[in-house]
Structure 1
Amino acid sequence: MNDIQAGRAGKPATVSARISPAGGLDILSRNEVARLRDASGSGLHALLRRCALAVLTSGNISDDPRSMFEQYPDFDIQVLQQDRGIKIELSHAPAQAFVDGQIIRGINELLVAVVRDIVYVSTQLEQGGFDLDDTVGITHAVFEILRNARILKPHVDPNLVVCWGGHSISRDEYEYTKSVGYQLGLRGMDICTGCGPGAMKGPMKGATIAHAKQRRRNNRYIGITEPGIIAAESPNPIVNQLVIMPDIEKRLEAFVRMAHGIVVFPGGVGTAEEILYLLGILLHPDNAGIPFPLIFTGPKQSAAYFEQIDRFLKLALGEEVAQHYQIIVDDPAAVARAMVKGVDKVRNHRLDTKDAFFFNWALDIPFAFQLPFRPTHEAMRGLALHRARPRHELAADLRRAFSGIVAGNVKEEGVRAIEQHGPFDIDGEPEIMRALDALLQAFVTQQRMKLPGGTAYVPCYRVRAAGKETAPLA
C-alpha cells in the first residue's frame, strides 16, 4: 500500500511504496538480498541507495552529488525476497517518480537495471569471475556486464551512434543536439549516451520523433553510466536501456566497444576526457586501419568551442591527430550523412575481419586506458604531461587530468578531497600547460563547468608549468 507524504519545511513531497520490478529481474539469492540490505562498510546498500535515488529523481539537474540526499534525507530502498519473487520497498521516495500513487513504468525499469548491475558486478568480483589484472580480462568483464544487461544485440546491422557532450549546454546547443538526433533517427540509427541531461538527452529526444515518423519499432536509447557520476547526471526519461558500469574506465570502454560511430557535441571537461580517451586509442599503432567515424559538431554559435579543442589536440598530440575526426558546424543532415557513410565502412570492415557487429573486439585498448584512475592530489601531481612520450601515452595522462577535474567538480569523493586539501595541482610541459589553462578558462567563461545561473565556479585545480602556476583564471 502506498503512502504519500506532502512536502514540509521546504522539503519536496515523497512516497513510500512496495513495488513489483518491471521486467528483467525475477529472483535473487538470499545472499544477494542480504548484501543489498547490508549497510556496513562492505555492504552494497549505500551504493544501491545512491544509484536508486538518482533514477527516482530523473530530470533533476545538479552538479552537486550530495544535493539529492539533502533534499531526500529519509529516502531508503530495500530489496525483499518473497515466495513469488522479489519486491522493492521504497521509503520517502521522490513523489515525481509516481503518478496517482503508482511508480512510472520507465523509472521502475531503470530501478531494476540498478539492482541487476550492482548485484551482478559485486557477485562476479566476490567469486573471482572477473580477471582485472590484464587487458584481456578487463575487456571480457566489460563484455559480460553488457551481456548480462542484455544490451548487446546480435543479428543487427551496425547502427549504434554514441553521442557525447555536456550536460551544461546552452539552449541553442541543446536544440542542435535534437536536430542531429532527428537526422540520425530518420536514417535508422539508434542512440547511446551517458544517460543524463543536455547533450545526452537531446539526441535521444530528436531520434524518438524520427523513429516515430519512420514507424520504426524496438528502438534503442541506451544510457551508460557509473556510480561516481550518476548522482550528478540522473538518467533522462528517454533512456530505455540503462547499464551501470563499475567505474569511468569501464564505462568509456563500453562506449567504444559498442559504438559504430561517435558524435561529439559541445561540453566541458568530461567531454574533453572522452575525446582524449578515444583519440589515444585510435593513435595506438595497433589500431591503424580500423575505421571509427568520429564527428565533432555543434551550432554556428559553438564554432569557437571546436576551434579551441582542435588547437589543443593538434598542439598536444600532433597535427596528424586531426585525421581521426571531422568537424561539421551547423549542419545536422551533413552530420548524419557522414555518420551513415562511416558506419557503412565499419560494417564492411567487420565483415572482412569477421569481427562482431555488436562488440568491437578488434580494437586494442592498452591496459593504461583500462586501469582505474583514482584522482588523489598525489596522483594528479604525478601525471607526465610532456610531448617526449608516445602520443597515445600522453593522451592517456591528459585524459586522467580531465578525469580528475571532473571528480573535483561533481564526484562526491573528489569534492570532499578538494574541500579538505585544496585544488589539484596539474603540472607539465609549459606549452601544453598554457594551452590547457586557456582551454579550461574558456570552459569556465562559457559556463561549461557549472550550470548557467548557478553560483560562480571555483576551480578545483591549479595549472602549473615546470612547478610555477600559470596565469590565474579570469
Structure 2
Amino acid sequence: MTHSIDKLIIRPEGTLEILSLQEAEQLSTTSDNGLHELVRQCALAVLSTGAETDETLELLDAHRDFDIEVTVRGRGVQIILTNPPQTALVDGDLMAGIKHHLFAVLRDLVYTRNDILLSKRFDLSSSEGITNAVFHILRNARMLIPNRLPNITVCWGGHSISREEYEYSKYTGYELGLRGLDVCTGCGPGVMKGPMKGAGVGHHKQRISDGRFIGLTEPGIIAAEPPNPVVTELCILPDIEKRLEAFLRLGHGIIIFPGGVGTLEEILYLISILQHPDNRHIALPVILTGPASAEDWFEEVFRFLDTTLGLHGRAHLNYIPDNPIEVAREMRLAMETVRQDRRNSSDAYYFNWRLHIEPELQRPFEPTHENMAALKLSRDLPTHLLAAELRKAFSGIVAGNVKAPWMQEIRKKGPYQIKGDPAILKALDRLLRHIIKSGRMKIGGEYTPCYEIVSE
C-alpha cells in the first residue's frame, strides 16, 4: 500500500547548490520582482513529466494545491515541495531525472532574471545584445562544450502525432545515434521525444557513453510540453525567440518531422534566416522527412510555402521521404561540411556566431489581439521578411492554443483576427484546416480555433 507525500524537502545538486538569500527570496516571493508563480508553473510542468495533456490551464487547475518554496539554510539550499504530483515520486523520493530538470528550471529562471534581464549588461534592443544574452544563458547552463566536433542534430516536429510518425522519428534517431550524432529537441513529447529514445539505443550499441540529449524550452510553453524523461541537459530560455535562436546557434544540422503550428513557426523562422543574403554561404543542413503516411502533410506545407513565398522559399530544404537510414547518412556527411565551414571561418564549433538573424526575428512578439490583426501578410515584402511575419502568425496561434496568459485573453476577447493578402490568407486557411483535420493541433479532444481568417 502506498501513501501520498504531501510535503517533500530536497537539496539541489550540481549548478544550484549555492544561492544567495536574495535569489532564494526571488524564487519564493509573489511580489512584482518575485518569480514564485513562474517557478511554480514551470516546476509543476517538470513534475508532471509523462502527463498525456497539452492543456496548460487544465494542468494548473488539477494541481491548485501544489506549491514550491526555496530557502537557504545553514548547509545550503532547500527546496520544499507541497503536494507534488505523486507520479514524480518513487518510494517517497523524486526520480533523479526529474530532480535534475527541476534544478535546471530554478537555475535558469534566477540567472535569466538577474544576470540577463535586470543587469543591464546586455542591450536587448540590439541584435548583438540578444545573441550575447543567448550565449550567456547557454554557457551558464553548461550547454557549450569546446573541443567537440560538430554533431548536434536539432529535431523539430509535432507533439500531437500518430504512433507511426512517432516510431519513424525514433527509428531516425536510432540511425543518428549509430553514427555518433547527438540530439537536441524542444524537450516535450512526440517528435521531441522519439529521436532521443532512438539515439539512446544507437549510442548504447556503439558504446558511446558521453552522448547528449539536449532540451530547449521556455516558460510559456513548458507547461504544455513538459520535459520528456530522456532529456539529460535542459535549458529554459526566457522567450520563444531566444529559444529558436538557441537551436540554431547550438545545433549543427536540422531534421524536421511532421507537426502542427509550432513546427510551421520553426520552418518559417528557419526560411527567413536562410533566405537572408548574409547567410548565403553558411553551412546549415536541413532535412525534412517522415513516413509515407505523412506525405499529404508535406504536400500541404510545400503548397503553402510555394503560394506565399514562391518556389525559392524552400530552396534550402532537402526532402527525404520515408528513409531514416538515408536521412542519417546525409546528416552525418553534412557534419563534415559544417566542420570545414566553421574551421575555414574560424567560427566556434559550439556556437554559430556568424549566422545573421534579423532583429525582427529576435525581439519577443507579443500575440495581443491588436498585434495579430496588424501583421503585414503581403507578397510585396522580400521573402525573408514575409516569412518572418508568417512566423508571427503561427507563433500567435501556438500561444492561443497552449500558453495560459494568451488563452485567458482569448476567453475574454474572442479569437484572434488574422488579415492580409487574400492569396496568403487562402493558403493559410487551407493549411490550418489540414492541421486541424489531421489532429495535429491538440493531443486530445475537439479543437476550437483561437483565430479567425478575415478577408478584407
> Could you say which TM-score interval applies, normalised by the shorter chain?
over 0.9
| CA distance in 2 between partners of 1:133 and 1:462 (Å) | 31
Structure 2 equivalent of residue 470 of structure 1: none
Structure 1 equivalent of residue 38 of structure 2: 47
Match of 2:434 among 424, 438, 442: 442
Match of 1:244 among 236, 258, 265: 236
Structure 1 equivalent of residue 348 of structure 2: 356
Match of 1:307 among 295, 299, 304: 299
Matched, 1:455 2:448: no
| C-alpha contact (below 8 Å) 2:25/2:71 kept by paired residues | no
Q: C-alpha displacement at 1:5, in angstroms? A: 5.4
What pairs with 1:278-317 in structure 2 (closer than 5 Å)?
A: 278-317=270-309
Structure 1 equivalent of residue 208 of structure 2: 216
Q: Secondary structure at the match of 1:17?
A: strand
Structure 1 equivalent of residue 376 of structure 2: 384
Structure 1 equivalent of residue 366 of structure 2: 374
| CA distance in 1 between partners of 2:188 and 2:253 (Å) | 20
Matched, 1:277 2:262: no
Deviations along 1:332-382, whole A, 9 cap, x unmatched? Answer: 001101111222111110000000001000000010000100001110010
| CA distance in 1 between partners of 2:53 and 2:362 (Å) | 28
Match of 1:111 among 102, 112, 136: 102
Q: C-alpha displacement at 1:97, in angstroms? A: 1.1
Structure 2 equivalent of residue 155 of structure 1: 147
| C-alpha contact (below 8 Å) 2:271/2:314 kept by paired residues | no
RMSD: 1.1
What pairs with 1:155-174 in structure 2 (closer than 5 Å)?
A: 155-174=147-166
| CA distance in 1 between partners of 2:111 and 2:292 (Å) | 44
Structure 1 equivalent of residue 80 of structure 2: 89
Structure 2 equivalent of residue 18 of structure 1: 9
| CA distance in 2 between partners of 1:130 and 1:15 (Å) | 42
Q: C-alpha displacement at 1:15, in angstroms? A: 4.0
Q: C-alpha displacement at 1:184, in angstroms? A: 0.4
| CA distance in 1 between partners of 2:226 and 2:190 (Å) | 11
| C-alpha contact (below 8 Å) 1:179/1:203 kept by paired residues | yes
TM-score of the pair, normalised by structure 2: 0.98
Structure 1 equivalent of residue 173 of structure 2: 181
Matched, 1:74 2:65: yes
Structure 1 equivalent of residue 92 of structure 2: 101
| CA distance in 2 between partners of 1:368 and 1:143 (Å) | 19
| CA distance in 1 between partners of 2:298 and 2:333 (Å) | 22
Deviations along 1:176-219, whole A, 9 cap, x unmatched? Answer: 00000000000000000000000000000000100000000111
Structure 2 equivalent of residue 264 of structure 1: 256
Q: C-alpha displacement at 1:248, in angstroms? A: 0.3
| C-alpha contact (below 8 Å) 1:65/1:410 kept by paired residues | yes
Q: C-alpha displacement at 1:235, in angstroms? A: 0.4
Deviations along 1:50-103, whole A, 9 cap, x unmatched? Answer: 111110111112221112222211111111102221111111001111111111
Structure 2 gap segments, 5+ residues each = none
Deviations along 1:413-460, whole A, 9 cap, x unmatched? Answer: 111111111111111111111111000000000000112xx3211111
| CA distance in 2 between partners of 1:459 and 1:308 (Å) | 19
Structure 1 gap segments, 5+ residues each = 7-13, 468-474
Amino acid at match of 2:453: V
Amino acid at match of 2:386: L
Q: How many residues align?
A: 454
Deviations along 1:271-313, whole A, 9 cap, x unmatched? Answer: 0000000110000111111111111111000011011111111
Identity %: 53
| C-alpha contact (below 8 Å) 1:270/1:406 kept by paired residues | yes
| C-alpha contact (below 8 Å) 1:195/1:234 kept by paired residues | yes
Amino acid at match of 1:53: L
| CA distance in 2 between partners of 1:463 and 1:340 (Å) | 42
| CA distance in 2 between partners of 1:322 and 1:389 (Å) | 16
| CA distance in 1 between partners of 2:368 and 2:287 (Å) | 33
Match of 1:397 among 366, 389, 395: 389
TM-score of the pair, normalised by structure 1: 0.94
Amino acid at match of 1:461: Y
| C-alpha contact (below 8 Å) 2:169/2:194 kept by paired residues | yes
| C-alpha contact (below 8 Å) 1:61/1:234 kept by paired residues | no
Matched, 1:62 2:53: yes
Amino acid at match of 2:193: K
Q: C-alpha displacement at 1:321, in angstroms? A: 2.3
Amino acid at match of 2:298: F
Runs of 4+ in 1 over 6 A off after TM superposition: none
Once the two structures are overlaid, the 10-residue window that deviates more, 34-43 or 259-268, is 34-43
Structure 2 equivalent of residue 471 of structure 1: none
1:235–1:205 Cα change, 3 Å: same
Amino acid at match of 2:250: M
